[in-house]
Structure 1
Amino acid sequence: MSALLEDSLSVAILRMLAQEPAGAGVSLPRLGKRLGQGASVLMRRLTLMGDAAIGGVRGPGWVRVEQHDDRWVAHLEAPGRAQVQTLPPADENAG
């Protein structure tokens, strides 16, 4: 299991992005508001969840972040959508 999947924020991001139709994204302000996190926290986590190489190790490629005009938008990629399918059901009573 990836260490990212042991982190509740990473799992919450994957679940939220998976609620969107394929190809649709979520703006960072909306993602932050729904998850109670600031944009800088989200950008750091999304960078780890993307395909960027950090410390010589390539990320899993679960998400992609793009800038559209003046806003950042996070998209769930196919590997991320597949990863969501392996997650245990969300506890609807949590949070």
Structure 2
Amino acid sequence: MLTELQQTLLWTLYRAAKPVSLPWLGKQLGLSGSVVMRSLAGLGEAAVAGQAGPGWVHVEMADSRWTASLTEAGRVLCAEQDHAP
């Protein structure tokens, strides 16, 4: 089950439609970068307690800054929810 913050992060990334910096995400949501990073961790592919994540978000360091974006699976998830009755 997703937390409210994780749902908000997914929608924010969906609307951005491009990779965004973690500081930008934090500023949009009024949160620190570390809180954003921890929340995104459960949305990526990394295993937590031996169980792989859903793979909806990709986080990487590029040009000395952390960025986050939706994967194809994340875009599909958001698009389906966006069009749900």
AA of the residue aligned to 2:78: V
> Match for residue 16 of structure 1?
12
Alpha-carbon shift at residue 59 of structure 1 (Å): 0.3
Across the aligned residues of Structure 1 and Structure 2, the Cα RMSD in angstroms comes to 1.5
2:43 to 28, 39, 49: 49
- Identical aligned residues as a percent: 43
- TM-score w.r.t. length of structure 1: 0.80
> Match for residue 72 of structure 1?
66
Higher helix share: 2
AA of the residue aligned to 1:8: E
Query: SS state of the match for residue 54, structure 2?
Result: coil
Distance in 2 between residues matched to 1:25 and 1:36, nearest whole Å:
19
Query: SS state of the match for residue 87, structure 1?
Result: helix
Gaps of 5+ in 2: none
Kindly provide the CA deviation profile for residues 11-43 of structure 1, in whole angstroms up to 9, marking residues without a partner as x.
11111111123xx20100100000111111111
Alpha-carbon shift at residue 8 of structure 1 (Å): 1.2
Distance in 2 between residues matched to 1:75 and 1:49, nearest whole Å:
11
After TM superposition, what 4+ stretches of structure 1 lie above 4 angstroms from structure 2?
none
Paired positions, count: 83
